[in-house]
């Protein structure tokens, strides 16, 4: 990896992508306590190197990618000790959403204050997981569906209505 030149300077024999300041693929091998990613890459002449990251380059999972995740590296001025993480590499993408995302212009639709969550919708709110669902309708109707429904109370369990039907 290193060659002693005739004028006593040490020259690194690096792959072209490093020598020319281009990009390469590396891996995050560690995250320091201060949050700096340590990366390794083909042609690295020494131990893993502390890297910087572009804003949002490793975002998307709301966390720093775990060790071993492949990343695209740019080497500032072609120097192997100055890698910048440009982004992470994935083998697959998340499945596309079946419905449109919430209109971001209507921030008042969901309120979270740490003690209570309030959801507001003009027509209905649907909570769904597998074969179970809870639907809150604009007209005041609440529909609870599931393969089994369990209702428990440590105190009095009241069922009130203008009429109550069982089976």
Best CA proximity match to 162, nearest among 140, 145, 144: 140
Task: Tell me the per-residue pLDDT of 31-70, one tens digit each, with 9 for 90 and over.
Answer: 888 888 899 998 888 899 999 887 766 654 444 556 778 8
Domain boundaries, the chain: 2-88, 107-145
* Domain 2-88 CATH (choose: 3.40.50.1400, 3.30.450.90, 2.40.50.230, 1.10.1200.10): 2.40.50.230
Task: Tell me the per-residue pLDDT of 101-125, one tens digit each, with 9 for 90 and over.
Answer: 555 555 454 555 666 677 778 888 8
User: What Rg do the C-alpha atoms of the chain give, in angstroms?
Assistant: 28
pTM of the prediction?
Answer: 0.44
Distances (CA, A) of 80 to 13, 34, 41, 53, 167: 11, 22, 9, 15, 73
């Amino acid at each position: 990896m290193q060659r002693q030149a005739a004028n006593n300077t040490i020259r690194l024999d690096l792959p072209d992508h490093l020598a020319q300041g281009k990009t390469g693929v590396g891996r995050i091998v560690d995250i320091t306590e201060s949050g700096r990613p340590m990366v390794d890459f083909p042609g690295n002449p020494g131990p893993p190197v502390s890297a910087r990251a572009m804003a949002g380059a490793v975002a998307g999972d709301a966390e720093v990618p775990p060790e071993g995740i492949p990343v695209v590296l740019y080497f500032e001025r072609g120097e192997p000790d100055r890698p910048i993480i440009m982004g992470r590499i994935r083998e697959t993408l998340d499945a596309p959403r079946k419905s449109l995302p919430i209109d971001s212009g209507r921030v008042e639709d969901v309120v979270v204050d740490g003690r209570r969550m309030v959801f507001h919708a003009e027509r209905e709110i649907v909570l769904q997981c597998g074969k179970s669902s809870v639907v809150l309708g604009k007209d005041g109707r609440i529909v609870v569906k599931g393969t089994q429904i369990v209702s428990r109370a440590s105190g009095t369990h009241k069922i009130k209505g203008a009429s109550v039907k069982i089976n």
